């Protein structure tokens, strides 16, 4: 009934400590208004990583390699590559010297959801990652000015160096300027972005940086995430929509390997086990008593039409889908043969994000198992 | 029950219920990331592995069915530093978006073309009908597969 000892030995915190992850103190309360003025679902917000501080976004290593952090996630949009280009462009370093860490909630700024095509504007426009890179570049130029004894206006940041515009051999590497220290600066809302006419990295084709990992099975997806002490749960769905859970027979799974717990909360029931397939087996074996739930609506076999879908919608009492169609011949003269159809279609947006644990229905769309059961004949 | 199998050229022994789907053994006991759980019903192809030269669906194959046999996953073809010819073709053609289905696409195409390197495009497409790609990267994937098939015919890919 307990997970194997080796999986209990590590807590997440210990794991992070041992793996050298940066633990940032809580300091978000002091963040200035500029960065956090907007609070939509795509916006950057306070977390244990202070988005108002440059060090939360950019780190320049002593060897000149750059690590950048963003709360937006690569999901196949190519964003890892595009935003690595952004940092390289704004900072003035080659693309292959930038490592972008995405969506590690321990070390990256909280940038809300990754959706709605908002992640590029969020990081490319005037705030966030682009502003951080521009702030870092201007800070490096100031440091270079002091080091080289050349006014900042006569310096350029290029190819990982701050160099004199007049004499490019007069230069100092980013790594030497920062020497592994932090910037300890706030984001500067007035830091100047590079203008498109000066771009050398952005706007140029770059191959997807993650492609070699994708094609060789090295990329990590949500399903691959394993942390020490991690358990796996499977939800047991009711056999019909509207069924109520009456009884859970815990003993039906008590002897099964790996089972840790049966969880019941109101009408929700699930099984937790050490390994994923142990949870699947326990979920299958768990004896539950459900009320029958309401009967399925009658469907005329030959006319699974828009109308029946509409009825089904009401019956589910969830806005799953409905279509109302009506057609009419425009004239009775016989000249026009086309039929004009007006159609109102509503479709409940089912997040396609989790690629797993969904079941294909006969219509070819992915529905959750619960909807699939109810929808078998008239889902689309 | 202890079950022996050769995975990506390495002999492995796992102690599991023999009815455990091969996919769970590969992901949880052997920590492989190539085969993915997509539908769990053998319908989408993302869990594909190659066994005895055939592309099979590991989510509906009990581990017992491949006991003593060989299994090749996407990891077993090549590495990011030294990709297999078909993986290189996918890199060359930039033939993926999210990459979740790549495992099934690449292994299904490889098993099919290794058997029939002269197959026509239509046959390749038919062989891949049961492998779903939600991102709609099909056109680039077919270009990559064509590139690999061309290499096979010229003898430059293996």
Provide the percentage of residues in chain A whose pLDDT is more than 90.
54
User: What pairing do the DSSP bridges indicate for beta strands A245-249 and A58-60?
Assistant: unpaired
Q: Tell me: do A53 and A26 sit in the same domain.
A: yes
Q: Is residue A58 part of a domain?
A: yes
What average pLDDT does this structure show over B21-33? 96
Q: Is residue A254 part of a domain?
A: yes
What average pLDDT does this structure show over A64-85? 94
Minimum CA–CA partner of A212 in chain B: B80
Q: Tell me: do A28 and A137 sit in the same domain.
A: yes
Q: Is residue A226 part of a domain?
A: no
Q: Tell me: do B146 and B99 sit in the same domain.
A: yes
With CB atoms and an 8 Å threshold, state whether A211 touches B91: yes
Q: How many domains does chain B have?
A: 2
pLDDT digits (tens, 9 = 90+) for A263-276: 999 999 999 999 99
Q: Are A311 and A297 in contact (CB under 8 A)?
A: yes
Instruction: With a cut of 70, say whether residue A348 has pLDDT above it.
Output: no
* Domain finish residue from B75, B107, B125: B75
For the question of whether the overall pTM of this predicted structure is more than 0.80, the answer is no
Q: Tell me: do A193 and A256 sit in the same domain.
A: no
Q: Tell me: do A57 and A156 sit in the same domain.
A: yes
Q: Tell me: do B81 and B94 sit in the same domain.
A: yes
Q: Tell me: do A86 and A178 sit in the same domain.
A: yes
Q: Is residue A208 part of a domain?
A: yes
Q: Are B5 and B70 in contact (CB under 8 A)?
A: yes
> What pLDDT shows up at residue A122?
87
* Domain finish residue from A190, A215, A240: A215
Contact residues, chain A, for B94 at CB < 8 Å: 207-208, 211
Give how far Cα A318 sits from Cα of A12, A209, A239, A371, Å: 38, 42, 17, 10
> What pLDDT shows up at residue A318?
35
Minimum CA–CA partner of B31 in chain A: A224
Q: Tell me: do A161 and A247 sit in the same domain.
A: no
The range of the structural domain enclosing residue A369 comes to 306-330+339-375
DSSP state, residue B24 = H
Residue A191 sits in a domain of what CATH number? 3.30.365.10
> What pLDDT shows up at residue A41?
73
Q: Are A249 and A264 in contact (CB under 8 A)?
A: no
Q: Classify each residue of A178-194 as buried b or exposed e, where b means 16 or more C-beta atoms within 10 Å of its C-beta.
A: beeeebeebbbeebebb
pLDDT digits (tens, 9 = 90+) for A210-229: 999 999 999 988 888 888 89
Q: Is residue A4 part of a domain?
A: no
Q: Tell me: do B143 and B90 sit in the same domain.
A: yes
Q: Tell me: do B95 and B30 sit in the same domain.
A: no
State the pLDDT confidence band at A360, using cuts at 50, 70 and 90. Answer: very low
> What pLDDT shows up at residue A338?
56
Give dist(CA B83, CA B89) in Å, integer.
9
Contact residues, chain A, for B81 at CB < 8 Å: 212
Q: Which of A215, A226, A360 sits opposite B102 (nearest CB)?
A: A215
What average pLDDT does this structure show over B31-55? 95
Q: Tell me: do A23 and A103 sit in the same domain.
A: yes
* Domain finish residue from B58, B75, B92: B75
Residue B32 sits in a domain of what CATH number? 3.10.20.30
**If you average pLDDT over every residue of chain A, what do you get?**
77
pLDDT digits (tens, 9 = 90+) for A11-47: 434 434 444 333 333 333 334 334 444 567 777 888 8
Q: Are A144 and A78 in contact (CB under 8 A)?
A: no
Q: Are A263 and A270 in contact (CB under 8 A)?
A: yes
Contact residues, chain B, for A219 at CB < 8 Å: 33, 99
pLDDT digits (tens, 9 = 90+) for A183-207: 999 999 999 999 999 999 999 999 9
What average pLDDT does this structure show over A37-62? 85
In sequence order, the 6+-apart residues with CB closer than 8 A to the CB of A119 are A42, A72, A73, A77, A79, A111
What average pLDDT does this structure show over A142-148? 96
- DSSP string across A158-223: ETTEEEESS-TTSEEEHHHHHTT-----B--TTPPPPPGGG-SSTTS----TTHHHHHTT----GG
Q: Tell me: do A205 and A240 sit in the same domain.
A: no
Give dist(CA B49, CA B98) in Å, integer.
19
Q: Residue A178 CA to chain centroid, in angstroms?
A: 32
With CB atoms and an 8 Å threshold, state whether B33 touches A78: no
Q: Is residue A295 part of a domain?
A: no
Q: Is residue A52 part of a domain?
A: yes
**ipTM of the shown complex:** 0.96
> What pLDDT shows up at residue A227?
86
Q: Which of B33, B36, B98 sits opposite A75 (nearest CB)?
A: B98
Q: Tell me: do B68 and B81 sit in the same domain.
A: no
Give dist(CA B102, CA B93) in Å, integer.
13
Q: Tell me: do A267 and A142 sit in the same domain.
A: no
Instruction: With a cut of 80, say whether residue A259 has pLDDT above it.
Output: yes
What average pLDDT does this structure show over B108-137? 94
Per CB distance under 8 Å, which residues of A are interface residues toward B? 75-78, 207-208, 210-221, 223-224, 226, 257, 275-277, 280-281, 352, 355-360
- Preferred mutation among A216, A350, A360 to probe B, highest tally of B CBs within 10 A: A216
User: What pairing do the DSSP bridges indicate for beta strands A321-328 and A161-164?
Assistant: unpaired
**Residue A84: burial class (beta carbons within 10 Å; 0-12, 13-18, 19+):** buried
Calculate helix-pair angle for B102-115, B85-92, nearest 10 degrees: 130
In sequence order, the 6+-apart residues with CB closer than 8 A to the CB of A305 are none
Inform me whether the C-beta atom of residue B41 falls under 8 Å from chain A C-beta atoms.
Answer: yes
Q: Tell me: do A194 and A46 sit in the same domain.
A: yes
Q: Tell me: do B91 and B44 sit in the same domain.
A: no
Q: Tell me: do B68 and B84 sit in the same domain.
A: no
* Domain finish residue from B75, B106, B138: B75
Q: Tell me: do A177 and A263 sit in the same domain.
A: no
Give dist(CA B150, CA B156) in Å, integer.
8
Instruction: With a cut of 70, say whether residue A326 has pLDDT above it.
Output: no
> What pLDDT shows up at residue A1?
38
What average pLDDT does this structure show over A56-65? 94
Residue A245 sits in a domain of what CATH number? 3.90.1170.50
User: Closest Cα of chain A to B61: distance in Å?
Assistant: 13
With CB atoms and an 8 Å threshold, state whether A281 touches B17: yes
pLDDT digits (tens, 9 = 90+) for A161-180: 999 999 999 999 999 999 87
Q: How many domains does chain A have?
A: 3
State the pLDDT confidence band at A86, using cuts at 50, 70 and 90. Answer: very high
Backbone angles phi, psi at A265, to 5 degrees: -140, 110
> What pLDDT shows up at residue A133?
97
- Preferred mutation among B80, B83, B106 to probe A, highest tally of A CBs within 10 A: B80
Instruction: With a cut of 90, say whether residue B53 has pLDDT above it.
Output: yes
Name residues 101-140 of chain B within 8 A of A (Cβ). 102-103, 106, 134-135
Q: Tell me: do B23 and B60 sit in the same domain.
A: yes
Give how far Cα A294 sits from Cα of A224, A242, A297, Å: 39, 7, 9
Q: Tell me: do A187 and A243 sit in the same domain.
A: no
The range of the structural domain enclosing residue B134 comes to 77-154
């Amino acid at each position: 009934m307990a997970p194997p000892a080796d999986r209990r030995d590590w807590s997440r915190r210990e794991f992070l400590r041992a793996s050298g992850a940066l633990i940032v103190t809580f300091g978000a309360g002091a963040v200035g208004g500029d960065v956090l003025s907007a609070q939509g679902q795509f916006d950057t917000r306070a977390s244990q990583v202070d988005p108002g501080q440059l060090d939360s976004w950019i780190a320049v290593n002593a060897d000149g390699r750059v690590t950048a952090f963003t709360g937006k996630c690569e999901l196949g949009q190519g964003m890892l590559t595009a935003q690595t280009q952004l940092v390289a462009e704004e900072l003035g370093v080659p693309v292959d010297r930038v490592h972008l860490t995405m969506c590690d909630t321990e070390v990256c700024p909280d940038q809300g959801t990754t959706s709605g095509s908002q992640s590029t504007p969020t990081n490319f426009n005037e705030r966030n990652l682009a502003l951080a890179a521009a702030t870092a570049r201007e800070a490096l130029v100031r440091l270079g000015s002091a080091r080289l004894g050349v006014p900042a206006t006569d310096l350029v940041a290029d190819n990982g160096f701050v160099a004199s515009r007049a004499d490019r051999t007069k230069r100092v590497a980013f790594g030497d300027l920062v020497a592994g220290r932090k910037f300890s600066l706030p984001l500067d809302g007035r830091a100047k972005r590079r203008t498109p006419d000066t771009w050398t990295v952005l706007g140029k084709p770059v191959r997807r940086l993650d492609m070699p990992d994708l094609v060789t099975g090295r990329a990590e997806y949500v399903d691959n995430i394993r942390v020490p002490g991690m358990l796996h749960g499977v939800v047991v769905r009711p056999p019909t929509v509207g069924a109520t859970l009456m009884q859970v027979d815990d003993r039906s799974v008590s002897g099964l390997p790996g089972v840790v717990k049966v969880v019941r909360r109101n009408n929700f029931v699930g099984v937790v086990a050490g390994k994923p397939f142990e949870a699947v087996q326990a979920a299958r074996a768990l004896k539950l008593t459900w009320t029958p739930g309401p009967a399925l609506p009658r469907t005329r076999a030959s006319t699974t039409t828009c109308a029946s879908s509409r009825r089904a919608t009401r019956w589910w009492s969830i806005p799953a889908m409905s279509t109302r169609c009506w057609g009419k011949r425009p004239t009775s003269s016989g000249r026009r043969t086309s039929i004009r159809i007006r159609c109102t279609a509503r479709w409940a947006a089912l997040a396609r994000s989790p690629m797993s644990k969904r079941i294909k229905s006969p219509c070819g769309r992915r529905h959750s198992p619960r909807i699939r059961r109810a929808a078998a004949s008239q889902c689309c | 029950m202890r079950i022996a199998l050769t995975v990506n050229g390495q002999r492995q022994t796992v102690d599991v219920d023999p009815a455990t789907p091969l996919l769970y053994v590969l992901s949880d006991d052997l920590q492989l990331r190539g085969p993915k759980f997509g539908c769990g019903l053998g319908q989408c192809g993302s869990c594909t592995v190659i066994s005895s030269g055939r592309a099979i669906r590991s989510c509906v194959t009990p581990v017992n069915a491949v006991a003593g046999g060989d299994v090749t996953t996407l990891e077993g073809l090549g590495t990011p530093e030294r990709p297999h010819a078909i993986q290189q073709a996918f890199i060359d053609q930039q033939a993926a978006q999210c990459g979740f289905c790549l495992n099934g696409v690449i292994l299904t195409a490889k098993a099919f073309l290794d058997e029939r390197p002269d197959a026509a495009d239509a046959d390749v497409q038919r062989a891949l009908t049961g492998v779903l790609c939600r991102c709609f990267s099909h056109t680039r994937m077919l270009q990559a597969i064509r590139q690999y098939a061309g290499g096979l015919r010229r003898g430059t890919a293996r």
